[in-house]
A = this chain, B = another copy of it.
Amino acid sequence: MKPKALIVSADAFEDSELLYPYYRLQEAGYQVDLAAPKAGTITGKNGYTFTANLSLADVEDAGSCGYKLLLLPGGKAPEALKAIPKALDIARDFAGSGAPIAAICHGPQVLAAAGLLRGRKATCYKSVAEEITAAGALYEDSETVVDKNLVTARQPSDLPAFMRAVMTMIG
């Protein structure tokens, strides 16, 4: 059975930040589940479409058990997700289980809203730095920040360092 990873996103995601981890995890042999507010097609800022095979409700019902990773791409999707209690519950469930969590660009907004960044070293897109700092994160302007089971990065050009850290963390 393939190891499983979960990507949570929504419409208006930053295409490169979904596309690269989605393919990269498959390259490494992972089954990648993609969850969105509703199952079905989601469309990125640059027009790429991906099929969310799960809804947030599906994931909340099944729980984080069996997943090696939760990954949150950026774009405008996290702004929508952070207002959805199910999205925050999923992030808390992963955090509670100790599974690795990775977030890039605007992705850390979801973790901030879920109260998961308090006292944690993290980075994010520069325009979001104030928001995660207000949520208690110890913000660093670095291409990738690793704090225990948490990996964060700033922007698409950080994807090589971000996914290198993610792949190292999940083995």
Contact = CB atoms under 8 A, between A and B. Distances in A.
Size bracket of the A interface: 10 to 19
Contacts of A27: 24, 159-161, 163-164, 167
Interface in A19-38: 19-20, 23-24, 26-27
Nearest to A26: B160
A3 interface: no
Contacts of A19: 16, 19-20
Interface class of chain A by DSSP: helix
A105 to B, nearest CB: 14
A55 to B, nearest CB: 22
A29 to B, nearest CB: 9
A46 B43 CA distance: 12
Interface in A59-95: none
Nearest to A19: B16
Contact of A24 (B24, B46, B47): B24
B160 A46 contact: no
Contact of A23 (B15, B26, B159, B167): B159
Contact of A47 (B46, B163, B167): B46
11 contacts: A15-B15, A16-B19, A16-B48, A19-B19, A20-B20, A20-B24, A23-B159, A24-B24, A27-B159, A27-B160, A46-B48
